[in-house]
Chains A and B, each alone.
Chain A
């Protein structure tokens, strides 16, 4: 079917054809009832067309209309398959990551900045029970509101039928980025997107693809047995922390891969806190010859699905502790509660945060020596507070934040870092506190995640005058 500029479909006037892949034509379009520019995605449904085109259209329609938030284009409506099938969605202004990737290798800072944006978008998608399963630079737009993910034709919604997976046993995805478990037919793990993100980071950091473009299933399976060249071997400017993050994304064994996109974003934003790890020693050529003759189940190589780790507990925990009075009983109780939460999941990470109150906005108390030493004193106290938790350095970070409002600082930190759970203490209810409102009640009211409020059992003599 051919479409032309100016043609009207269901009230949408086609304005300009946009570049697209082989599955559909894309048109920028206007509708008199809409205040935004739309994109019409019209699938090529000619007879003889691959069956995956029809199913891809069905899947995208099912999934996109259920998604919300800044990291996907807003779904507008879809057309009747019997008339003209199309999906109308919001046109997202921004730069394609594919275009940016042409300038690769980029500086490590740029790679981290872009990578964190994509990771945040993935975290939002995964929170809505959707795995994209075709993440590649062509499907990412860097917009003012963050990274926006496109093309849900291969995606999988955990609460919807998997029309594609049931239809085909051939691995579907982009050869350069497809995750090893996806090659083996597993379409249920959001960590497959994290593998693809690792491929994107690799490309941005080195200018090369980790696995190039195999055209056969056997070619795609190679990534199960052969790790890509270390990025620093291609671009010596790739720092060890970035190489570590990329390697953890590209782990074949999902038990060793990041299980949460929010963790990838956190690491990319805090390079100084990435604990450098060395790759597993390569298997000797003798081992490889032996294993080539052994019967093996490839699925063992890709490990257990990551869902169990996510179900065990939050990946990122924030303990907000008030140390103005030292490690008092309430601070100890906050620590005990934090210990329980951290123990639920061995690969979780704890951010310890304490607020150093300043009186004025913009006052730079750290500029003078007194302020500097107050900051250091508090940092030492915070580390001392966390020490009994016995967490290894890759699982814990320390943040002394200077702020006028402790609650605002905690909420801001949690939001920016996709924190999954906040632990905070609450003092007894004094008249003043009831009047002004407590820090914990504001955090509870405004945080976008779960909050545990820790309170000491009130002794009778403490409340009576």
Chain B
């Protein structure tokens, strides 16, 4: 069983298309979209339509904080994120909004849990950026494998009962082990707005038989995506970070 996980697409059409092609080539058994389909990027309607198409074909799709903010009033966003969300709302049709509004916070599939941010209180959108932040997720669920996004920085956390989790920064395109002796929390890198210094789009491929997870990196035309962010009148820093990968 192989599962492709796409997180934090953020309305980046160029990145999404490149990742879709790479995912199709891997022919996974299951596709998961781990939230934040929209926000920041210039192509929210396209991203929602493709995500809905995936969902119609059996993909698991969970809600992200930007998806939520696009359909209902939210507080606590950064200035840039808020500007982008106000713009995004104007682009989306009633149908697009209905799709986003219908997304669940979490999906459990056998011993796997999919969620956008920290699993303990999904609606609070807490970042899992280190071992300490990963611990509450392990306490909140008995799932063997928790998969989330939100930080835009790939990570794998290894948990053993009674011990603090161990953090690992997986190498690009190199399988990180999933161990029989541990539970795992995988933070998937971002499709549409990577922030780990590598501008290439990221998706994760979980291989349950091989017991590994690989952060696949897919180079794409970030310059075009950035140009479209500027043309849409969105904050220029949102364009610059696509090219820098930060």
Which residues of A come within 8 Å of B, CB atoms?
A: 51, 54, 58, 62, 80-82, 159-163, 166-167
Instruction: Give, as a whole number of angstroms, the nearest-CB distance from A281 to chain B.
Output: 43
Task: Decide: A160 near B180, CB < 8 A? Known: A51-B163, A167-B166.
Answer: no
Q: Which residue from A62, A162, A167 sits with its C-beta under 8 Å from B177?
A: A62
Task: Say yes or no: A166 contacts B167, CB within 8 Å.
Answer: yes
Q: Which residues does chain B contribute within 8 Å of A58, judged by CB atoms?
A: 179, 181-182
Decide yes or no whether B81 CB sits under 8 A from chain A: no
Q: Which residue from A54, A82, A161 sits with its C-beta under 8 Å from B158?
A: A161
Decide yes or no whether B86 CB sits under 8 A from chain A: no
Q: Which residues does chain A contribute within 8 Å of B176, judged by CB atoms?
A: 160-161
Instruction: Give, as a whole number of angstroms, the nearest-CB distance from B31 to chain A.
Output: 26
Q: List, sorted by A's number, 22 A–B pairs whose CB atoms are closer than 8 Å.
A: A54-B181, A58-B179, A62-B177, A81-B181, A82-B180, A159-B171, A159-B174, A160-B168, A160-B176, A160-B177, A161-B158, A161-B166, A161-B176, A161-B177, A162-B166, A162-B168, A163-B158, A163-B166, A166-B131, A166-B166, A167-B163, A167-B166
Decide yes or no whether B202 CB sits under 8 A from chain A: no
**Bound: A161/B156 CA distance, A:** 9
Instruction: Give, as a whole number of angstroms, the nearest-CB distance from B124 to chain A.
Output: 26
Interface centre among A58, A160, A161, A166 (most CB of B within 10 A): A161
Which residues of B come within 8 Å of A, CB atoms?
A: 131, 156, 158, 160, 163, 166-168, 171, 174, 176-177, 179-182
Task: Say yes or no: A62 contacts B179, CB within 8 Å.
Answer: yes
In the complex, besides A161-B167, A166-B167, 4 extra interface pairs with C-beta distance below 8 angstroms are A62-B177, A62-B179, A160-B177, A162-B166
Q: Which residues does chain B contribute within 8 Å of A161, judged by CB atoms?
A: 156, 158, 166-168, 176-177
Q: Which residues does chain B contribute within 8 Å of A54, judged by CB atoms?
A: 160, 181
The 3 nearest A-B residue pairs measured at CB: A161-B168, A166-B166, A81-B181
**Bound: A167/B167 CA distance, A:** 10
Q: Which residues does chain A contribute within 8 Å of B163, judged by CB atoms?
A: 51, 167
Q: Which residues does chain B contribute within 8 Å of A160, judged by CB atoms?
A: 168, 176-177
Instruction: Give, as a whole number of angstroms, the nearest-CB distance from A48 to chain B.
Output: 13
Q: Which residues does chain B contribute within 8 Å of A167, judged by CB atoms?
A: 163, 166
**Bound: A31/B166 CA distance, A:** 36
Instruction: Give, as a whole number of angstroms, the nearest-CB distance from B128 to chain A.
Output: 16
**Bound: A54/B166 CA distance, A:** 14
**Bound: A163/B166 CA distance, A:** 6
Q: Which residues does chain B contribute within 8 Å of A162, judged by CB atoms?
A: 166, 168
Task: Decide: A80 near B180, CB < 8 A? Known: A161-B156, A163-B166, A167-B163.
Answer: yes
Instruction: Give, as a whole number of angstroms, the nearest-CB distance from A390 to chain B.
Output: 39
With CB as the reference atom, state the residue of chain A lying closest to B182. Answer: A58
With CB as the reference atom, state the residue of chain A lying closest to B180. Answer: A81
**Bound: A55/B236 CA distance, A:** 48
**Bound: A58/B163 CA distance, A:** 15
Instruction: Give, as a whole number of angstroms, the nearest-CB distance from A243 to chain B.
Output: 41
Q: Which residues does chain A contribute within 8 Å of B160, judged by CB atoms?
A: 54
Instruction: Give, as a whole number of angstroms, the nearest-CB distance from B99 to chain A.
Output: 37
With CB as the reference atom, state the residue of chain A lying closest to B177. Answer: A62
With CB as the reference atom, state the residue of chain B lying closest to A58. Answer: B181
Instruction: Give, as a whole number of angstroms, the nearest-CB distance from B74 to chain A.
Output: 35
**Bound: A103/B17 CA distance, A:** 68
**Bound: A236/B166 CA distance, A:** 49
Instruction: Give, as a whole number of angstroms, the nearest-CB distance from B233 to chain A.
Output: 43
**Bound: A160/B213 CA distance, A:** 12
**Bound: A62/B177 CA distance, A:** 8
Q: Which residues does chain A contribute within 8 Å of B181, judged by CB atoms?
A: 54, 58, 81
Instruction: Give, as a whole number of angstroms, the nearest-CB distance from A157 to chain B.
Output: 10
**Bound: A159/B172 CA distance, A:** 10
Instruction: Give, as a whole number of angstroms, the nearest-CB distance from B197 to chain A.
Output: 18
Q: Which residues does chain A contribute within 8 Å of B156, judged by CB atoms?
A: 161
Q: Which residues does chain A contribute within 8 Å of B182, judged by CB atoms?
A: 58
Q: Which residues does chain A contribute within 8 Å of B158, judged by CB atoms?
A: 161, 163
Q: Which residues does chain B contribute within 8 Å of A82, judged by CB atoms?
A: 180
Instruction: Give, as a whole number of angstroms, the nearest-CB distance from A244 to chain B.
Output: 38
**Bound: A80/B163 CA distance, A:** 21
Q: Which residues does chain A contribute within 8 Å of B167, judged by CB atoms?
A: 161, 166
With CB as the reference atom, state the residue of chain B lying closest to A78. Answer: B180
With CB as the reference atom, state the residue of chain A lying closest to B131. Answer: A166
Instruction: Give, as a whole number of angstroms, the nearest-CB distance from A438 to chain B.
Output: 36
**Bound: A166/B132 CA distance, A:** 12
Instruction: Give, as a whole number of angstroms, the nearest-CB distance from A86 to chain B.
Output: 13
Instruction: Give, as a whole number of angstroms, the nearest-CB distance from B126 to chain A.
Output: 21
With CB as the reference atom, state the residue of chain B lying closest to A79. Answer: B180
Instruction: Give, as a whole number of angstroms, the nearest-CB distance from A175 to chain B.
Output: 25
Q: Which residues does chain A contribute within 8 Å of B174, judged by CB atoms?
A: 159
**Bound: A341/B193 CA distance, A:** 39
Q: Which residues does chain A contribute within 8 Å of B180, judged by CB atoms?
A: 80-82
With CB as the reference atom, state the residue of chain A lying closest to B169. Answer: A161
**Bound: A159/B131 CA distance, A:** 18
Q: Which residues does chain A contribute within 8 Å of B179, judged by CB atoms?
A: 58, 62
With CB as the reference atom, state the residue of chain A lying closest to B168. Answer: A161
**Bound: A54/B162 CA distance, A:** 13
Q: Which residues does chain B contribute within 8 Å of A163, judged by CB atoms?
A: 158, 166
With CB as the reference atom, state the residue of chain A lying closest to B179. Answer: A58
**Bound: A51/B181 CA distance, A:** 13
Q: Which residues does chain A contribute within 8 Å of B131, judged by CB atoms?
A: 166
With CB as the reference atom, state the residue of chain A lying closest to B165. Answer: A166
**Bound: A343/B132 CA distance, A:** 45
Instruction: Give, as a whole number of angstroms, the nearest-CB distance from A5 to chain B.
Output: 28
Q: Which residues does chain A contribute within 8 Å of B177, judged by CB atoms?
A: 62, 160-161
Instruction: Give, as a whole number of angstroms, the nearest-CB distance from A164 to chain B.
Output: 9
**Bound: A81/B183 CA distance, A:** 14
Instruction: Give, as a whole number of angstroms, the nearest-CB distance from B175 to chain A.
Output: 9
**Bound: A169/B142 CA distance, A:** 29
With CB as the reference atom, state the residue of chain A lying closest to B171. Answer: A159
With CB as the reference atom, state the residue of chain B lying closest to A66. Answer: B177
With CB as the reference atom, state the residue of chain A lying closest to B175. Answer: A159
Instruction: Give, as a whole number of angstroms, the nearest-CB distance from B73 to chain A.
Output: 41
**Bound: A81/B180 CA distance, A:** 7
Q: Which residues does chain A contribute within 8 Å of B168, judged by CB atoms?
A: 160-162
Q: Which residues does chain B contribute within 8 Å of A51, judged by CB atoms?
A: 163
**Bound: A216/B122 CA distance, A:** 45
**Bound: A162/B131 CA distance, A:** 13
**Bound: A159/B168 CA distance, A:** 10
